[in-house]
Amino acid sequence: MQSATRPAWQQFVIDGLEEVTHGSWRYHAWMATLTFFMLLGSWAYSVQMREGLIVTGMHDHVSWGLYISNFTFLVGVAAAAVVLVMPTYVLKDHDFSRAVLIGEAMAVAALVMAISFVVVDVGGPARLWHMLPGLGLFNWPSSMLCWDILVLNVYLVLNFSIPLYLLYSRYNDRSPNRKLYLPLVLLSILWAVSLHLVTAFLYAGLPARPFWHTALMGPRFLATAFTAGPALMILVLSVIRRNTPFQIRDVTIGKLSLVVTVAAQICLVMLVSEMFTEFYRSTHHGASARYLYFGLAGHHALVPWIWSAIAMNVAATGILTVHRSRKTPVLLEVGCVLLFLGILIEKGVGTIIPGFIPEPWGKIHEYAPSWVEITVSAGIWAAGCFVFTVLAKTAIPIELGERRYRATPNHSPSAVVAPTLVMPDGTPVAPPQSAPTA
C-alpha cells in the first residue's frame, strides 16, 4: 500500500483512512452502533430545527437544560487532559508518555461534544456567523460566553495540533522540534485551567442566580473535572490495553488513580462546605439548594438524582481512598464508573437546573428533558466516541511503530512484539519496572 513516491502528508492521510476503515468485526460493530446513534440524533435535531426549541423540555423559567448540563460536564473532561500533558511534556515523567496521546484525543472528542452541545442549544444556529471576527460582533471582554468560545476553540486547536505534529514526526522517523512544540504545550496547560475557570465564571458571574453566584464555583469545577476526566481516562486506557497491543503500564494507571482519589476527596470537602453554607443558617438565597437536595414546596424532581450522585461519589471515594481496593483493577474500575456517573449528574443537571429553580420571583417550574433532547444528546455523545475512536485508532499504530512513511518490507506489524517505549518526542524510555506506586 505504501508508495514512496507519494509525498509524506498524502501517505499520512491515506494510511490514516486505511487505518480507520479496517478493523475487527467488533470495531466495525462499534462504529456502526455509533453511526446509528449519530443518525438518530441528527434526525431528532432536524425535528428541533423545524419546530423550534419548543420540542425540548425547556421553557422561559428553566431556559437551559440537558444540553448546557452536558456542555458544562464535558468542558471539565476536556480540561482534565492537562493531568497527563503537564507531567509528560514538562516534568518528563515517563509513566504518562503512552497515555498522553490518548488523553489528548479524549480532550479533542470532549471539546467536539461540548461545542456541539452549545450549537444545538442556540435558537438560531444559522446566525452563529454573528460571532465570527470581522463579520460579526464579538462582545469581548464583557460577555463570559465570548471568553468561553475563545478558550474552547483555541484549546481544541492546541489539543489537536500538538499530538498531530508529534505523531507526524514519528511517522516520518524524525524527532520533533522541542522548541516548536514545548511553548504550545506550556500554553495548553495554562489554557486548560483557564478554560474551566472561564466556564465556571459563565455561571458564577450571574448575581441573578444565587445558586451559581458563589466563589466556590471555579474551584469546584476544577476539582470535579480532575475527578471525572482522569476517571474516564483510566476506564478508556483499561479498555485499550485489554484490546490492543498498546501497552499501558500499571504505574501509569496507578498514578492516574491517585490523581482521581485526591480530586474526589477535595470534591467531597467542597460539597460539605457548600451544604454547610447553604443550610446552617438557611437564607433566601438557599432556596435552589433546598430544592436540589430536599425538594421545595412539594417539588423534588432532582432529589433522587442528586442523592444517587452523592452516594456514588462517596462510595467511589471510599473505594479509592483505601490502598488495597484502589490497587485492585476491578474495584478501581468500579470506582471510576461511579465517579464518572456521579459527577456527570452532580455537575451537569445538578448544577445547571437548580440555578433556574425557583425562578427570580420565587416560583417553581420544574424541568424534565424531552425525547428530542435525550436523542440529540445521545447522538452527540456517539459523535464524541466516534471522534475519539478515529483519533485513537490512527494514533496507536504510529505510536507503536507499525505505521511509518518509509516502512521497510520486513517491518511488518507482527514484527513489533514488544515495542520500545518512547516519549512523545521520540526519546526512548527505560523498560517498564514494577515500581511500587505511592
Which residues make up the interface to another protein (CB under 8 A)?
51-54, 56, 58-61, 63-64, 118, 121-128, 130-131, 134-139, 142-146, 149, 205-209, 287, 355-356, 358-363
Q: Is the CB of 91 or the CB of 135 nearer to another protein? A: 135
Q: Is the CB of 342 or the CB of 358 nearer to another protein? A: 358
Name the minimum Å distance from CB 347 to another protein: 17
CA angle 165, 252, 424 (to 5 degrees): 15
Query: Could you please report the per-residue DSSP string of 392-427?
Result: HHHHHHHHHTS--TT--TT--GGG-SSPPPB-TTS-
Q: Is the CB of 335 or the CB of 348 nearer to another protein? A: 348
Taking alpha carbons only, the member of 282, 348, 429, 387 closest to residue 71 is: 348
Name the minimum Å distance from CB 67 to another protein: 11
Alpha carbons 425 and 94: distance in angstroms, whole number: 11
Whether 77 and 233 have beta carbons less than 8 Å apart is answered as no
Q: Is the CB of 89 or the CB of 147 nearer to another protein? A: 147
Name the minimum Å distance from CB 299 to another protein: 12
The C-alpha cell that represents 150 in the structure block? 475563545
- Quick count: other Cβ atoms within 10 Å of Cβ 28? 12
Alpha carbons 121 and 292: distance in angstroms, whole number: 23
Q: Is the CB of 98 or the CB of 347 nearer to another protein? A: 347
Name the minimum Å distance from CB 189 to another protein: 26
Question: How buried is residue 184: exposed, middle or buried, by Cβ count under 10 Å (0-12/13-18/19+)?
Answer: middle
Q: Is the CB of 135 or the CB of 418 nearer to another protein? A: 135
Name the minimum Å distance from CB 176 to another protein: 33
Omega before residue 424 within 30° of 0, cis: no
Name the minimum Å distance from CB 138 to another protein: 7
Q: Is the CB of 59 or the CB of 327 nearer to another protein? A: 59
Name the minimum Å distance from CB 309 to another protein: 23
Alpha carbons 335 and 349: distance in angstroms, whole number: 21
Specify which residues 299 forms β-bridges with.
296
Name the minimum Å distance from CB 145 to another protein: 4
Q: Is the CB of 36 or the CB of 294 nearer to another protein? A: 294
Whether 62 and 356 have beta carbons less than 8 Å apart is answered as yes
| 3-state SS assignment for residue 299 | strand
Question: How buried is residue 22: exposed, middle or buried, by Cβ count under 10 Å (0-12/13-18/19+)?
Answer: exposed
